[in-house]
Amino acid sequence: MSYTGPDFDPPQQRRPRRGPLTVALAALVPGALLGWMVYEAVGGGGTGGADRTASAAPTAGTSAAPSAPAGTPAASAAPPGASASGSPGDDGKEPGSGPLKGKVVVIDPGHNPGNFRHTAEINRQVDIGTNRKECDTTGTSTNDGYTEAEFTVDVAHRLRTLLEKQGATVKLTRDGDSPAWGPCVDERARIGNTARADAAVSIHADGSAPGDRGFHVILPGSVHAGAADTRAIVGPSHDLGVRIAGNFLRETGEPPSNYVGGGTGLVTRTDLGGLNLSTVPKVFIECGNMRDSKDAALLTSGAWRQKAAQGLSEGIVSFLRQS
């Protein structure tokens, strides 16, 4: 498939793709309805049989490369109160005193604004169990230059605030002031594992063709190779992802993707290091397509990002409160 996803977001334009989907409107409505039915029905976690498995990973070289990002700051400690412009930023309100007391959530804001200046570092290959892959990528941006890396950390701040109000302990894999690049995808997974997160979510926005619209949640497929063993997390991650998708749809009104996932807003992948190496329930979300003008108008809106965070929070809370 032409879709490549979060580990491979190119800095600028993707390669040419097919034209606008003439079937988009026709397919979207029943697809969205199907998505709703899935969200409403699954609750306890289905098998994800309707999910599309995205393209296999490109073959990666096996050249010798260190598997650990030496010197990469983990940035796993609770970040300082400073928040990105426009985000609520009143985190730290009595964490541990709400209904999510004792629960740990790791939020992984995709990419890093500094990645653009550290191409050698982020291009280094790391071991993701099933194969080797770039440490990290620059991520995409809107045509006006609002970067995915800015977007993801802003949503992460908003989400952190909401979850801490519920009493959860929240850790970010990176924050605005550190590290200078990355962390690598293997480290992003490791931060969730080390924190023994009850749930982890990696936040992204896609860089697909204009006309491609909507969000999708990426679920880990079952892999067992090298350091990757997702067999224990496939089920709970699916449950987490379904809950996030349903709540995200309701809060934002953003439709499920019209270009992957068959209208369900759910895609299963086995080529992402951040999922393959996770030992805790984890999903990615592509909140929208930065390269589509309609989606970009949403993604660049602080009010919309707050809705996105609200939907994510409600999905995570729903997942955590049933366990």
Nearest CB to Zn ion, comparing residues 104 and 156:
156
Contact residues toward Zn ion (CB under 5 A) are 6, 9, 110, 139, 204
CB of 289 to Zn ion, least distance (A): 11
The C-alpha R_g of the chain, in whole angstroms, comes to 18
Task: State how far the Cα of 172 lies from the Cα of 153, in Å rounded to an integer.
Answer: 9
Burial of 290 (0-12, 13-18, 19+ CB in 10 A): buried
CB of 322 to Zn ion, least distance (A): 29
Task: State how far the Cα of 85 lies from the Cα of 89, in Å rounded to an integer.
Answer: 9
Nearest CB to Zn ion, comparing residues 38 and 219:
219
DSSP string covering 146-182: -BHHHHHHHHHHHHHHHHHHTT-EEEES-BTTB-SS-
3-state secondary structure of 243: helix
Residues 6+ apart with CB under 8 A from 82: 89, 176, 177
Q: Which residue has the tokens 């701040």?
A: 157
CB of 167 to Zn ion, least distance (A): 29
Nearest alpha carbon to residue 23 among 215, 254, 212? 212
For residue 165, report the phi and psi dihedrals to the nearest 5 degrees: -65, -25
By beta carbon distance, the residue nearest Zn ion is 204
CB of 202 to Zn ion, least distance (A): 8
CB of 280 to Zn ion, least distance (A): 20
Among all residues, which ones are annotated catalytic?
Answer: 286
Nearest CB to Zn ion, comparing residues 31 and 109:
109
Nearest CB to Zn ion, comparing residues 6 and 114:
6
3-state secondary structure of 305: helix
